[in-house]
Each structure stands twice: as C-alpha cells, then as structure tokens.
Chain A
Amino acid sequence: MGNVPGKLENENAVRSNRSMSTSAALPHRTNGMNGARKARTSSMVGTILNSRRCSESSDLNPYKRKSTKDKERLKERHVKQLIVKHGESVDGGFLAPYGSSSIEKVDYDAGVVKSLILERRLAPFYTPLQDYDESWSHQELVKIVDGLPLHAPFSEDVEAFEGVPLGDLSQSDFDDLIDKSLSRREQRRMRSMIFNARLYRKRLLWQERENEKFLESKLEAKKPGARSNPCLPSDDLKFELYYKGVECPICFLYYPQPINMSRCCLQPICSECFVQIKRAEPHFPHDQDEDHKEEEEKDPNLLTSEPTNCPYCATSDYGITYDPVLTRKVGLQGIKPFSYVSGNLEPVESSEPARRRSLAATDRLVVTSDSLRPDWQVKLNKERMRLARRSANATAIHLSNQLVTPGHQASSNLQTHTVPSSNYHPEFAAAHAHDNGSLWPSNATAAEIENQMVEQAIKLSLAESKAAKKSSR
C-alpha cells in the first residue's frame, strides 16, 4: 500500500480557496444568531458547509436515475466528510464521528449534521473515554485526554474485502480491474465490491493522514519555547470537558457533558449513537397478508417506513435537544481552543438549568432522526416505483401470454383482468409524495383507472424488455 495518492486531497484544497457566504448554505432554522454575526462567520465554516450545497445542486431531481459513476462520486464525497480533522473542532468535539468504520452505519446527511453541530443544536462528536474513574487526579485526566486519538483504529482485515483488488488508489478509474469476460450483472457486482474496498482503504488513509497531522502538532507544541497551536485544546478545556463525563446508555462509553437529551423522556445519548438511529428499510405492514405474497403481487402503495421511536420510551418521532454551555464556546465560531480558561469551578452545574419537560417533535429546539436523513421520502418512493415496475412487468408478461394464446378473447380479458398490485402509477409518486392517501385523482372511475393501468403496464413492460434484450446482447 505504498502509493498514497497525493491527488486525493486536491479537490478539497480547490474548494477552500473559493470564498462564500455561509448564510446561503445554512438551513432555514435560525438559532438566535443575529444577522451581523452570521455574516462574519469564518471562511472555514463556509468550506465545511460548501459541500452540502454541492450535493444539493446535483440532486435537483432526486428521482432521476444516477449513473454508477455519479453514485460512486457522491459516496466518495460523503466519506470525505466522515474524516475527523483536529482543526475542525466545536466545543472540544469534532464534526465527524469517532468510531464508526462501516459507512452504512453513518449514512446520514453529513452537511446537515455538520451544520447542526456548528449551530450547537447537536452535541459535537466527542472522542469517548473507554473508562472513567472518579479518583483520577486533574493531572492524570488531562494526560489521558491528551492521548486520545482522533479516530478509532480501522479493522485491517474486513472479510468482505478479502482478496479484492484495489489497483492504484491515486487513479479514479479502475475499469481495468474488472473481468470483462463476466456477465454484465457479475461485472456490476465486481465493480461495486472493488469500489467499496477501495473507498474503505482511501478513508483509512485519509484519516491516518489527519491523525499524523494531529500528532505532529501535539509534538510541536510540547517543544520548549514552541508557540502554542491555537487549534489544540487548553488543559483547562480538556479537564473541564471530561472530569464529569456521562456514560451513554447505548454504547456505554463516557462523554463530556452536556450530552444530547431525548425530547420525550430526557434520556442522554451521544451524537455517535444518535446519528446511527434511522428508519427501517421500506417494508410492508406486518398485519397485512402481504408477507406471503410474491413481490410482484404486492401493492406498492402499502409499502411504508415509520419514523424512528425513542430507544428509551418508544415515543414516535425520536428527537433530541442539546443545551450547550454558553460560556464554553470554543473552536469553530468560538474562541480558539488553546486560549480557553475555566472561569467557574463548577461550570456544568452552574450553567442554565437543564430542560425538565418534554418537547414536541416540531419544536424548533428539537433535532429529529428524520432530519438527519431528509431523503427518506425519496427512498420510500423509489422502492415503491421499483416494485410498481416489477409488477407492471409481470402483469404485461401475463397479459401478452394471454393475448398470444389462441382461443383467448383478448379484448374481454383486458376488461376483466384485475391486477391488484398495479393500481400504482410511478409518475404520480413524486407529485403526490406528501399525501398518504390514494395516488389517483378521486374523480377517475375504477374502469378508467384500470384501462390506463393496463396500457401503462404494457408500455412499461415492452420498453423494459426491449432495453433488457439490448443490454444482454
């Protein structure tokens, strides 16, 4: 793995040269920040949030099919956002998670999460302590915190990537690694396997580079007569953050206070666990008989996905609030971490009294799970559309079989044949995404709908089988 590509970071460098105003990139929520303050935000924040704008502009039509290369590019951009950088800190924590090595766990919208952390509405990703002992002295604790890494070590032998060729990581093109003698389907599988293995490796290298930079600046700061590095936290900050840590009830690790609190039952959760809680994949309701049917026979309209429940009290629409310590605003949009001096001996207790009541999911202070993955509706509709295409296909094949079977009354068949699963029109999905009722205009009669449906099904199927034939040749 000798060839650490020098090109990997170029894209970021170019982006940071471009100056831009943050206010455009920030979501519409305002958090008591006045206009003047917003305008003064550092260009660094602009850089961090810039990537969010990029991803939005490329997502103008979320239903448009993306090419494999586009998808790969988006995924790589997401992974870049998961790199923990010591220079990008907020209140002693970071903008990217500490210990999640599988990308699937942290597939949240990184732009949204970063801006929530910058707005101090979600606790930053703190490096956790594995254990905590009340008897540690001030000095011991500072030393322990000083030794914390930016990111947990990555596992080197991932079973799924075993034996997968990586090629030259500095080249973005890896087409030559794919065995062209395989079927198209196999080639696609191989491509995604190689892509994922390469991306894993790249992430590991990117993070390692940040780890080295972090270590170097720490060593540099320890040299006698060295000027303090403004990005490194002062001992006061290290101590104050960790000396009264709280155990996250999900991962059992120790985090600085204040920590995120569930909006409903005021139970703590660290940001790393919070971002991993997400809606289940779209599925059919369990009480329906749909479970026993073939996929083609199911009604895509019934496909649902429910908002997440609070892990502690099962209240729907899980959300949290975070009350930052106002006297400890350091890092991005705050004072330099190295210059922080403890003002009060009991800073956590002396800050604003913590919230004592539940808040609604719509409260402006609340960050819901759904808001971290705003694409859940698109995902659900896409899955419905996929199912609708499949069932339309099956229906059309079924119908065309009947049409060509001698002795069959083709016309009467078209009239009477009922197809339970096809009462769904992919085109309507996007337009009607927000009402959960019928996707059909209410004045259409059942017969009209059925006619349109069958027509559409045949068209879709003919188009798809043509395309399938073309691609398989």
Chain B
Amino acid sequence: MASLPKRIIKETERLVLDPVPGINAVPHEDNLRYFQVTIEGPQQSPYEDGVFELELFLPDDYPMEAPKVRFLTKIYHPNIDRLGRICLDVLKANWSPALQIRTVLLSVQALLASPNPNDPLANDVAEDWLKHEDEAIAKAREWTKQYASRK
C-alpha cells in the first residue's frame, strides 16, 4: 500500500488533538482512509439527544475529490435518503480542496440543525416536511429515539 499522504496524517492528528464538540472521528486500524464517525444531534433540533453513526472515506484523489460520507444510523431527514446518502453541496459541486474532514462533519451537523426540504434527496420525506412540518418533525424525533439513542 502506498504511504498515506501527509495531509491525511496531519488531519487525523489534529482531529485527535483538537476534537470538535459533538463530533468524533476515528480511522479504522486496517484502513487509515476510512473513518468511523459519530455526530450528536444538535440541540433544539428534532435530532437532539441522538447519537448518529456515520462512515467517511477519503478517496485516492482526496483532497481534490470530496470525502465520501454516509449515515449508518437510520434517520428521518429530507436531505438524507434511506441508504444514509447525504445531499449536501460541499460533498458534491461545492467541494473545495481547502475544506477538511472537520469542516465537512460540521456541515453535516449543521444540516441536521436546518433541514432543507426544498432541495431534497429523500423525496417522500421532503414532501411530508413541506406539507405537514409538525408531523414530520415529530416523526424525526421518534426515529431519533428509536434508532439513535445513546447506548
């Protein structure tokens, strides 16, 4: 295996030395480009008190290419589909090589705080969100309790 680029080594070190509150990212021992991630649901959001598991992978072309990120915990959110795929601009067209693992995970956390049903990935969820916001938020809370409660 080719040696790990300095950038990935330094980012990992900095993540450990200076962790982001509510976010935890640890590389797998056998694949240092593959991170196990947990994000705490932001306060005052339907995901409050939930701990969500994600996985993150830095492809060969990182940082010229965005990291790949996916939710492993089931979540009811208009921009996250049933397979945990995330619709987030910085992971796609608005990726910049100056962004980092840290900034990407912060953006994911921010997406939990402010769902955007106008640019949906999960169409059925977005429809619920637009039509009956209260019910959708209640459902998101319910799912958080059911699938993302702290162990």
Q: Which residues of A contact B (CB under 8 A)?
A: 101-102, 105, 130, 153, 155, 157, 249-253, 267, 273, 276-277, 280, 286, 309, 311-312, 314
Contacts and interface: CB of A to CB of B under 8 A. Distances in A.
B132 interface: no
Interface residues of B, number: 17
A277 B60 contact: no
B93 A250 contact: no
Given A311-B96, A311-B97, A252 B61 contact: no
A130 B98 contact: no
B2 interface: yes
A157 B2 CA distance: 8
23 contacts: A101-B2, A102-B61, A105-B61, A105-B64, A153-B3, A157-B1, A249-B98, A250-B7, A250-B63, A250-B97, A251-B6, A251-B7, A251-B63, A252-B6, A252-B7, A253-B7, A273-B97, A277-B97, A286-B93, A311-B96, A311-B97, A311-B98, A312-B96
Contacts of B5: 251
B60 A102 contact: yes
Nearest to B98: A311
The 10 A-B pairs of least Cβ separation, nearest first, read A155-B2, A311-B98, A311-B96, A252-B7, A252-B10, A250-B97, A311-B97, A276-B64, A312-B98, A252-B6
A2 B16 CA distance: 46
Interface in B9-23: 10-11
A312 B10 CA distance: 19
Contacts of A276: 64
Q: Most chain-B Cβ atoms within 10 A of its Cβ — which of A102, A250, A267, A312?
A: A250
Given A105-B61, A105-B64, A276-B64, A253 B97 contact: no
Contacts of B94: 314
Nearest to A156: B2
Interface string B9-39: 0110000000000000000000000000000
A318 to B, nearest CB: 10
Given A252-B6, A277-B97, A312-B98, 14 more contacts: A105-B61, A130-B6, A157-B1, A249-B98, A250-B97, A251-B7, A252-B10, A253-B6, A253-B7, A267-B98, A276-B64, A277-B64, A311-B98, A312-B96
Contact of B96 (A252, A253, A286, A309): A309
A130 B6 CA distance: 7
The SS class assigned to the B binding surface is: loop
A323 B1 CA distance: 38
B31 to A, nearest CB: 13
Contacts of B63: 250-251
Nearest to B119: A286
B93 A280 contact: yes
A249 B60 CA distance: 18
B98 A250 contact: yes
Contacts of A267: 98
Contacts of A157: 1
Interface in B77-132: 93-94, 96-98
Nearest to B10: A252
B104 to A, nearest CB: 14
A345 B2 CA distance: 40
A246 to B, nearest CB: 14
Nearest to A253: B6
Contacts of B61: 102, 105
A312 B98 CA distance: 6
Contacts of A153: 3
Contacts of B93: 280, 286
Contacts of A314: 94, 96
A271 to B, nearest CB: 14
B16 to A, nearest CB: 16
Nearest to B5: A251
A44 B93 CA distance: 42
A102 B10 CA distance: 22
A102 B61 CA distance: 9
Contacts of B96: 309, 311-312, 314
Contacts of A249: 98
A2 to B, nearest CB: 24
